[in-house]
Amino acid sequence: MSSLQRQLFLLAIAVLVTACGSTASPSPPGSTSASQPAIGSPGTLPEATPTIAAGGSLVPSSAPVPVPSASGKASPTPAPVAWSKPIVVPGMEGCREPVAAIDDRGGHHLAATCFVGEASEIRYSTSPDGRTWSTTAFHPPTDLLDQDPELAVDGDTLYLAFTRDAPTDGDCGPPGVDLGVLYRTRTLGSGEWSDTIPLGSKGDGLLSFRVRGGVLHATVTSVDRQQTWYERRSGAKLDRVRIEDAQGSVALRVGDDGKPRIAYEGANGIGFGTISDGKAVGSTIPGSQHGFGPILVLGPGNDAFVAWNNYGSSGFGCDVETGADTGSYFATNAGGTWSTVRFTKTVGARALTLDPATGDALALVTGEGGHDPSSGDVGLTLYRITAGGNRTR
């Protein structure tokens, strides 16, 4: 399986598992180019067009498009990819919030929040080939809820992190119960899962999780979502850094240099930054005002690629009146300066990955039929955001 095929698998399987769940999730404890024109306010952002061209234009995945060769002539359109028949992952009924990973041996790994009545637990499924699956359910202690799973592969070790919560009618939870972020590990192959291990402080809710060289990286939030931290655990040592401007979800990636990068909901838009010398240092991405739900990937040289949603100046909530800036946005700092584009007026950016062969970004958007699921016209669209003309090296 090629690198791009693996990445597309992660996009597809996450959506398929999500579609299988129908039970509403309880609120988590923490519920986070140089050649392009200068960016102004969100209302003046360039609109993407459905053609492949330089300058950040986009192509819906519904039709293949010939790509010009070095000689200037269009190369033959490749044969379409042959998709397998849908595979139902056994034991994942009633599950939401799926995450996926593929290890260096080609093993497939899934985890999700799953529901039994009003209780929630973490289930883990694995497959050597993506066809035959075995599923393990991790039952939390009585009256507790496990949710917000994250998977990470580091060498021969697989990590499964999650939030443990105690639902209460007030501010008083069961006495003596340690709530917060926990994780398990197992050695790939035939290794057994470890017991749960606390990651940070009591009351944390997990936002994102990565492991590099045995070092654990996570972003967590407080129960009231008023405070957000980056955490780094190396052995028994835990470093904890407040992300002062974060006001919602936080996406996390670890660069080739071992330094964490974060994209987060901030007071003035989507912030991007690093953790350096015990401080979170970041700035707002141009054209990201009112943005929420950031997704982050890193390219070669630790270039950042970020996607997010925007309901416009009206904000977002239960009763949303969409504004002129409503849509899904994409930005990159490849080339040294931020370049931002709204690539669809639909709010629904859910996944982002890179094509290693071309450097193009692939963004998966849900709800392309509109904001009202009852319309019956809500689906999935995969956009290709071309790198041509946006990057200078």
Domains assigned to the chain: 3-72+93-385 (2.120.10.30)
Q: How far apart are CA 3 and CA 68, in angstroms?
A: 23
- CA-nearest of 231, 180, 194, 241 to 28 is 180
Q: How far apart are CA 178 and CA 211, in angstroms?
A: 23
Q: How far apart are CA 77 and CA 81, in angstroms?
A: 12
C-alpha torsion sign, points 309, 367, 88, 130? negative
| End-to-end Cα separation, the chain, in angstroms | 29
Q: What pLDDT, on a 0 to 100 scale, did the predictor assign at position 1?
A: 52
| Residue numbers in the chain where pLDDT is lower than 50 | 14-69, 171-177, 314-316, 318-319, 369-378, 388-393
- CA-nearest of 107, 89, 100, 127 to 188 is 107
Q: How far apart are CA 368 and CA 376, in angstroms?
A: 11
Q: How far apart are CA 390 and CA 393, in angstroms?
A: 10
Q: How far apart are CA 251 and CA 292, in angstroms?
A: 11
Q: What pLDDT, on a 0 to 100 scale, did the predictor assign at position 226?
A: 81
Q: What pLDDT, on a 0 to 100 scale, did the predictor assign at position 348?
A: 85
Q: How far apart are CA 302 and CA 272, in angstroms?
A: 13
Q: How far apart are CA 323 and CA 23, in angstroms?
A: 30
